Homo-oligomer: A and B are copies of this chain.
Amino acid sequence: MCSITIIGAGNVGAHLATALYAAGYVIRQLYSRHAERLTALQHLCQAGTTTDIHDLLPDSTLYIIAVSDDAIVEVAAQLHLYPSAIVVHTSGTVPVSVLHGFQRHGIFYPLQTFTQDKKVVWANIPLIIQGSDMEVDNLLRQIAACLSPHIYRLNDEQRQIVHLAAVFVNNFSNYLMTTAQQLLQRHQLPFELLQPLILETAQKVQTQAPDTAQTGPAKRGDRTTIAKHIALLQHDPPTQALYQLLSELIMARYQ
């Protein structure tokens, strides 16, 4: 049976550890610099834990590096493992080549935003994998299949494109929501006013392509409303600039 060591106990590491344990895998060891993150996980996954990376046992089948992007290289350099060990990272953007020091390596990138203490429906999550050879590929695919039926084998460039696209629909969309929240707050209006609309906007594109779902003043070329909105934002020139740019892009596309 394949045994797994998970390096990092942030949102991705913690959710992966519990999901893989629930899928029947042995979570051999969990590593985090933060002891407090390990305490709860240890019991959930029946795993050994350590806060010293040099204490990691070298003979697990798979090592999943689930640390922040800029720490992957440093963490990888400190791993001294059996040559048969497979080492993967979970980043959308770091090239697989940073793991070339390991003969068998790859990517295991779950495309989702994880929140601490919020349950994850793994069956809905696209898992993006990449193995250094067919055998590694197959093992990663087999493990992924225990979590989700949505498995994609992508190369570095494709994965980076997906990650960039994800920045638009997750990070940037969330910033637009923050902007809306601030605007409402400034006028003592509750954010709950927008929550159903936000949900429906997301639900719509589950069955309809977003380019056909576009509505609003810019789509209609309604310059009167656009001018009114820009005037309403005069207290906040950066947001005004954002409104202007987005409206121009939408008009350029549809008008």
Q: Which A residues contact B (CB, under 8 angstroms)?
A: 68-70, 93, 111-113, 115, 118, 124-126, 150, 152, 154, 157-158, 160-162, 164-184, 187, 189, 191-206, 208-211, 213-220, 222, 224-225, 228-229, 232-233, 238-239, 241-243, 245-246, 249-250, 252-253
6 example contacts (A-B, Cβ-Cβ < 8 A) are as follows A157-B187, A161-B184, A168-B177, A169-B176, A169-B201, A174-B215
Bound form: Cα–Cα A202–B113 in Å: 11
Closest B residue by C-beta to A239: B249
B193 contacts A152, C-beta separation under 8 Å: yes
Closest B residue by C-beta to A162: B193
Q: How many copies does the complex hold?
A: 2
Q: Which residues of B contact A181 (CB under 8 A)?
A: 165, 209-211
Q: A165-B181, A175-B246, A191-B205 are in contact. List 17 more A-B contacts (CB 8 A).
A: A70-B222, A124-B196, A126-B192, A150-B196, A158-B187, A158-B189, A165-B180, A168-B176, A168-B183, A169-B197, A169-B198, A170-B197, A170-B216, A174-B216, A177-B205, A180-B210, A245-B245
Nearest CB on B from A126, distance (A):
5
A160 contacts B199, C-beta separation under 8 Å: no
B196 contacts A229, C-beta separation under 8 Å: no
Nearest CB on B from A118, distance (A):
8
A176 contacts B180, C-beta separation under 8 Å: no
Q: Which residues of B contact A220 (CB under 8 A)?
A: 68
Nearest CB on B from A69, distance (A):
7
Bound form: Cα–Cα A160–B26 in Å: 56
Nearest CB on B from A97, distance (A):
14
Closest B residue by C-beta to A220: B68
Nearest CB on B from A193, distance (A):
5
A219 contacts B171, C-beta separation under 8 Å: yes
B171 contacts A113, C-beta separation under 8 Å: no
A189 contacts B162, C-beta separation under 8 Å: yes
A112 contacts B196, C-beta separation under 8 Å: yes
Q: Which residues of B contact A222 (CB under 8 A)?
A: 69-70
Known: A69-B222, A242-B249. A111 touches B174 (CB 8 A): no
